[in-house]
Structure 1
Amino acid sequence: MFQSKPCSLALARDSPLRIEEPHYEGIRHFLLKLMLFYSKQSKSIRGANVVYRRILSQVDKPPIYEVFNLEKTFKMTFSLLVLHMWLCLRRLKQEGKEGVEFGQYLYEIYNHDVELRVSKAGVNLLLTKWMKDLEKIFYGNIVAYETAMLPDAKQDELVNSIWRNIFSDDGSPMPTDPAAMARYARRESFCLSLTDKEAMFSGNFMFTRLKSSTDPMKA
């Protein structure tokens, strides 16, 4: 599982899943330009929103829970969000300062979504403390994953990091293959490194499709 050759995750030009920048003409274009709709910041924010929707399309749907034998809890979904945010932020850093700035917009969108999820889970009191604690977990996990990907890291370091951060604290059963998610994360990281800048900044990519046992298209 997840041992096939990595490939770009960019969507084909004719893919119906692509989201293109809107193009307006005449007075509407003029007014939008005055309102900075076409500014670099506005384009980056729109692109970051699409990227985050790609993350949610992988994290919020049943296949990832079925494939990895996970229970869909707040903690588990949050852990998967962090893992996929790390994958995207890691790739964006390859684009230097521009990628880091884009990643900041992505993080702000993620942070707003997490705050909504915490509120939806019924946490209204001490919300600020919850968010600070989740922020610490976010950065702690990202450092652990990044360290595990260093050339001199131990062979099983990513497996151990994923086990500690995703599985070990909520009593989830050990997955059928403990290293499966580590192989998935490593492969997605390689695939994203092969995904071009335009696809990353526009959100026109999709994570590898996971196929559950009930998937009619499963080979």
Structure 2
Amino acid sequence: MLWPFNHFSKPRGPLRGTIEGIYGMIVTQAREPLFYRDFGVIDTVDGRFDLLILHLWIVLRRFRSAEVSANVSQALFDRFCDDMDANLREMGVGDLAVPKRMQAFGEAFYGRSTAYDLALAAGDEALAAAVCKNVLNGEGMENARRLATYVKTALARLDRIDDAALLAAAWDFPAPSEAGGSRS
């Protein structure tokens, strides 16, 4: 189980570089302007957070099938938590409010992850509905379908790479336009 507040065992050595590389890829992809311009994701703190969680879920889902230890998944999740903590503090959230906000972030991650897992198993329309609710604030089913196609493309791309490439961060996410992101 990924525990959102397990900061006692920070990754060291090669694992730290792996986690930094993969988390950097997740953040970079979540900031891709095409998601905001062409998929209807609202370019706000909440919109960026929801897209970050979606990409983190994509990668952690692939880790489940990899021959990697649970420590790698936990370390990636811990890196996400550290980033959220730092962002809250940078935005001026007081020390007493940070734990409560971090708990809300953890609940959001687990709720969305469960919704995406269930929706993926239920089919394309269910995945689009989950994306619409969690990323697009319940608006824009056409954009949600295109974003769901992107998610499935990203999952398929990650499924095709071997575990060594996964851990070496020797892969990339598909461009949103590869998965129907550009509107003509």
Match for residue 35 of structure 1? none
Q: Equivalents in 2 of 1:99, 1:82: separation in Å?
A: 21
TM-score by length of 2: 0.82
Please identify, of 80-89 and 100-109, the stretch whose mean Cα deviation from structure 2 is larger.
100-109
The alignment's TM-score, normalised by the length of structure 1, stands at 0.70
**Who is 2:8 aligned against?**
none
Kindly indicate which of the two structures has a greater share of residues assigned to helix: 2
User: 1:159·1:182 contact (CA, 8 Å) conserved in 2?
Assistant: yes
Alpha-carbon distance in structure 1 between the residues aligned to 2:167 and 2:101: 30
Q: Which ranges of structure 1 fall in alignment gaps of 5 or more residues? A: 1-39, 212-219
In the alignment, does 2:89 pair up with 1:123? no
CA contact under 8 A between 1:51 and 1:203: conserved in structure 2?
A: yes
Matches within 5 A, 1:33-48: 42-48=13-19
Helix, strand or coil for the counterpart of 1:90?
Answer: helix
When the two chains are superposed, the root-mean-square deviation of aligned CA atoms in Å is 2.1
Unaligned runs of 5+ in 2: 1-10, 178-184
Change (3 A) 1:119 1:78: same
Q: Is the 8 A contact 1:91 1:189 kept in 2?
A: yes
Amino acid at match of 2:93: V
Aligned amino acid, residue 165 of structure 1: N
Letter of the aligned partner of 2:176 in structure 1?
L
Percent identity of equivalent pairs: 23
Tell me which residue corresponds to 2:5: none
- Matched with 2:181 is none
Q: In the alignment, which residue of structure 1 is the partner of 2:180?
A: none
The answer to whether the Cα contact below 8 Å between 1:158 and 1:182 also exists between their aligned partners in 2 is yes
The match for 1:84 is: 55
Partner residue of 1:143 out of 89, 98, 114: 114
Residue 45 of structure 1, CA deviation = 1.9
Displacement of 1:52 in angstroms is: 0.5
The question of 1:62 aligning with 2:28 is answered: no
Using the TM superposition, give the Cα deviation of residue 201 of structure 1 relative to its aligned residue in structure 2, in angstroms.
0.5
Deviations 1:167-207 (A, max 9, x none): 126xxx52653301011111111110001111211112111
- Larger RCO (CA within 8 A; separation ≥ 6): 1
What is the match of residue 148 of structure 2?
182
Displacement of 1:112: 0.6
Whether the aligned pair in 1 keeps the contact of 2:136 and 2:144 (CA below 8 Å) is no
Structure 1 residues 120 and 61 mapped into 2: Cα distance closer, same or farther (>3 Å)? Answer: farther
- State the AA in 2 paired with 1:123: V
Q: How many residues align?
A: 167
Secondary structure at the residue paired with 1:81?
A: helix
- Mapped to 2, the partners of 1:167 and 1:94 lie a distance apart of 28
Letter of the 1:183 counterpart = T
Measure, in 2, the Cα distance between the counterparts of 1:176 and 1:159.
9
